[in-house]
Amino acid sequence: MLGYILRRIGMMIPTLVVISMLSFIIIQLPPGDYLTSYAATLRATGDAVDEAELESLRQRYGLGQPIYVQYYKWMSGILLHGDWGQSMEWRKPVKELIWEKMALTVFLSLVAISVSWFIAIPVGVFSATHQYSIPDYIFSAISFIGAGTPGFMIALVVMLIAMRRLGLNVGGLFSEEYILAPWSWDKVVDMLKHLWIPVIVIAFESTAGSIRTTRANVLDELNKPYVETARAKGVKERKLIWKYPVRVAMNPFFSTVGWTLASLISGQTLVAVVLGLQTNGPMMLRALRSQDMYLAGSFLFLLSVLTVIGTLISDVLLAWVDPRIRMEG
């Protein structure tokens, strides 16, 4: 087991180096840079452009130098000083901008994932053990609708129902008076009142796919020889189902931990934009559109690093629950 983990860690290092290069190159692909776009915007609105300030920023970020010089400045700042650079649009350190909304993003994503798994696993197992029953057809229909409907569309429908039918003020995670207010018990209560809509929207889409995955995997395991042997030995059906087929059917959940960690940061970007959530997703999208190179590059790099770390965790969990995987490794 230890050798298996060390091999996976050894594969992570060159992967992260390549990812950091690709993340920085992707930000450089569009023509021009943020300073060019910023100057054009000022001219279009009739504002004065301070050429000295633009030149100072260009030298500071190395925009007039080769891309490898800019990349070296970026990575050396992160590794040696914990400096992720400064957002040229927000005029604030990237580290501050990301961590300002990190807690809300992670909390929302964790709640949505927990709700999704809490519903998907028992429903998927029930559908598999009651194949072709009326509840199975109902759950299957709901799953297909959820899997085939984009999250932002579900968000729009839920917002419409909440506003017109329930008379609720939806959008965002806080009421207007609490957005900039310091944290207090009243602000926490206000957040919990707004939390259920984004949780339903984010969880619905992932729950639908997880139900189908769980159902399919449990059905694959139910008729295998080891299950028949356990039945022949008189093992109770409920204990048999949850101890053997369901345990093997959980492999897909462990294998998606890599995506789950990344989603904790991105926070379902399109859904967050539609619902006006105070999470990292909308800021990441804005940084990509405005070519705010340090902020956008940091987001891409952070998401990639979390995906690689999540993949390592997935490999370890899969090897722990399924000895066949580590033996093949």
CA–CA separation, 278 vs 157, rounded Å? 20
28 with 171, same domain: the answer is: no
Count the domains in the chain: 2
In whole angstroms, give the CA distance from residue 226 to residue 113: 32
Tell which of 80, 97, 114 closes a domain: 97
Domain membership of residue 132 (yes or no) is yes
Whole-prediction pTM:
0.72
The answer to whether residues 152 and 242 belong to one domain is yes
Q: 33 falls in which pLDDT band (50, 70, 90)?
A: low
Flag whether 324 is in a domain: no
Based on the domain organization, do 143 and 62 belong to the same domain? no
Q: In whole angstroms, give the CA distance from residue 277 to residue 105.
A: 9
Same structural domain, 50 and 192:
no
Rounded to an integer, the average pLDDT of 42-69 is 74
167: left (phi over 0), alpha (psi -120 to 50) or beta: left
84 and 149 belong to one structural domain:
no
pLDDT at 326: 59
Q: Which helix (H) or strand (E) holds 33?
A: none
The dihedrals phi and psi of 236, each to the nearest 5 degrees, come to -60, 145
Q: Which residues contact 64 (CB under 8 A, 6 or more apart)?
A: 58
Q: Kindly report the number of other CB atoms within 10 A of residue 166's CB atom.
A: 8
Reduced to 3 states (helix: H, G, I; strand: E, B; else coil), residue 86 is strand
Mean pLDDT value across residues 279-295: 81
Q: Which helix (H) or strand (E) segment is 48 a member of?
A: none
Confidence of residue 54 (pLDDT cuts 50, 70, 90): confident
**Which residue, 75, 97, 119, sits at the end of a domain?**
97
The whole-chain average pLDDT of the chain stands at 79
Q: Is 320 inside any structural domain?
A: no
Residues 53 and 161 in one domain: no
Q: Do residues 34 and 122 both lie within one domain?
A: no
CB 271 within 8 A of CB 198: yes
Pair (42, 136) in one structural domain: no
Vertex 284: Cα angle to 116 and 258 (nearest 5): 40
CA-based nearest residue to 152, from 276, 258, 289:
276
For 300-328, what is the mean pLDDT? 74
pLDDT band at 214 (very low <50, low <70, confident <90, very high): confident
pLDDT at 138: 92
- 261 pLDDT exceeds 70? no
Pseudo-torsion of CA 321, 324, 325, 328, nearest 10°?
A: 160
Q: What would the two tokens of residue 80 be?
A: 């040696």
Over the stretch 86-133, which tens digit does the pLDDT of each residue have? 777 777 888 888 887 777 877 887 888 888 888 988 999 999 888 889
Q: For 187-213, write each residue's pLDDT tens digit.
A: 888 888 888 888 888 888 778 888 888
pLDDT, position 134: 92
Residues 192 and 210 in one domain: yes
Q: Is 157 part of a structural domain of the chain?
A: yes
Distance CA 99, CA 144 (A): 36
131 or 43: whose pLDDT is higher? 131
Rounded to an integer, the average pLDDT of 259-281 is 73
| CATH value at residue 169 | 1.10.3720.10
Output the DSSP codes for 187-247.
HHHHHHHHHHHHHHHHHHHHHHHHHHHHHHHHHHHHTSHHHHHHHHTT--HHHHHHHTHHH
Q: What is the pLDDT of residues 139-183, one digit of tens each?
A: 989 888 887 888 788 888 888 887 787 777 667 778 777 777 887
The answer as to whether 327 is a domain residue is no
- Copy the structure tokens of residue 177: 């008076």
Residue 168 backbone zone (phi > 0: left; psi -120 to 50: alpha; other: beta): beta
The answer to whether residue 317 sits within a structural domain is: no
| Domain-embedded: residue 295 | no
Task: State the Cα–Cα distance between residues 308 and 16, nearest whole angstrom.
Answer: 8
Residues 122 and 173 occupy one common structural domain:
yes
Q: Which two tokens stand for residue 67?
A: 């891309």
* 84 and 192 housed in the same domain: no
Same domain, 143 and 194: yes
Q: Which domain holds residue 129?
A: 102-278
User: Is residue 307 a part of any domain in this protein?
Assistant: no
DSSP assignment of 249-293, as one string?
A: HTHHHHHTHHHHHHHHHH--HHHHHHHT-SSHHHHHHHHHHHT-H
Question: Final residue of a domain: which of 278, 295, 313?
Answer: 278
